[in-house]
Amino acid sequence: QKEVEQNSGPLSVPEGAIASLNCTYSDRVSQSFFWYRQYSGKSPELIMSIYSNGDKEDGRFTAQLNKASQYVSLLIRDSQPSDSATYLCAVFMYAGGTSYGKLTFGQGTILTVHP
């Protein structure tokens, strides 16, 4: 079982619709969760971070975290063609008993928003 799994996609939605991206993780001690957007050939760009259960909204983006279910999602409202990209879920996992850690990424979900 992979440590971080995302719905495989690709996901295609019409312009103006809500895009829903999902991610599950296996490590219960994970503390920080991030969504990155990556355009083809570009670097991952941080768009959302979430640390506690519940919803966090930033503009058209809403991240949802449920630690009991080990589930994090990203909703994109009023999707635009410019949102077409690969969305990466990343989980900050601690290294054993230390206080340092690393990001573990899912494989990414390709989102296409068509006009």
Partner 1 sequence: EAGVTQFPSHSVIEKGQTVTLRCDPISGHDNLYWYRRVMGKEIKFLLHFVKESKQDESGMPNNRFLAERTGGTYSTLKVQPAELEDSGVYFCASSQDRYNEQFFGPGTRLTVL
> For the chain, how far is it from start to end, CA to CA, in angstroms?
37
Asked whether the beta carbons of 48 and 56 are under 8 A apart, the reply is: yes
Which of 23, 30, 36, 76 contacts partner 1 by CB under 8 A?
36
Q: Burial level of 49, CB count in 10 A (0-12/13-18/19+)?
A: middle
Q: Based on CB atoms, which residue is closest to partner 1, 3 or 17?
A: 3
Q: Which two tokens stand for residue 20?
A: 């829903």
What part of residues 71-110 is at the interface with partner 1 (CB under 8 A)? 88, 92, 95, 98-108
Q: Based on CB atoms, which residue is closest to partner 1, 17 or 27?
A: 27
Tell me which residues touch partner 1 (CB under 8 A). Answer: 2, 4, 31-32, 34, 36, 42-46, 49, 88, 92, 95, 98-108
